[in-house]
Amino acid sequence: MAAERQARMADRIRVLIAQRLEKGLRDPRLGFVTITDVRVTGDLQHASVFYTVLGDEKARQDTADALRAATGLLRSEVGRQLSVRLTPTLEFIHDAIPENAGHIEDLLREAAERDAAVAGLAAGATHAGDEDPYVKPREFDDAE
């Protein structure tokens, strides 16, 4: 029951913050932000808001600064929209999933290239010893 309430509150906070960011903040440092996930603690007192930013490292840093500066405003907005006694504190955390996914794709592509190279070598390979290295049972003569 409590986990359902946590999930509902996290989804609602995600939607509220995304809507507010879509309307825009009066901060020129804010880049193109996507809210990827929100996790609320079991006591519903703290919400970790995960986000991604389109752009380079400077855009990420500027957006992080803008979100840190707007935390109070966003928390007030969330508090007005949620019907809870205590509004959870908000913590904005840059979500590194897109960068990690790109790195994983690079590793998978490199592994596929190596597999193809090994398959190419194996196709033209010959046996090092006899073609059938297993010992065969001797055939006995009936004359013995």
Give me the pLDDT at residue 15, please.
92
How confident is the chain (144 residues) per 10-residue block, as mean pLDDT?
85 90 78 87 91 85 88 89 87 81 85 89 77 74 58
Closest CA relative to residue 10, chosen from 49, 51, 68: 49
Give me the pLDDT at residue 82, please.
86
Q: How many CB atoms sit inside 10 A of residue 125's CB?
A: 8
Give me the pLDDT at residue 49, please.
92
Give me the pLDDT at residue 144, please.
53
Give me the pLDDT at residue 48, please.
92
Give me the pLDDT at residue 126, please.
77
Are 42 and 2 contacting, i.e. CB atoms less than 8 angstroms apart?
yes
DSSP alpha helices (H): ranges in the chain? 2-23, 57-69, 71-81, 97-123
Separation of alpha carbons 1 and 23, rounded Å: 33
Give me the pLDDT at residue 143, please.
57
Separation of alpha carbons 93 and 61, rounded Å: 11
Give me the pLDDT at residue 141, please.
63
Separation of alpha carbons 134 and 121, rounded Å: 24
Residue with tokens 């033209």: 124
Give me the pLDDT at residue 39, please.
92
Separation of alpha carbons 17 and 87, rounded Å: 13
Residue with tokens 């509220």: 16
Domains and CATH numbers, the chain: 2-96 (3.30.300.20)
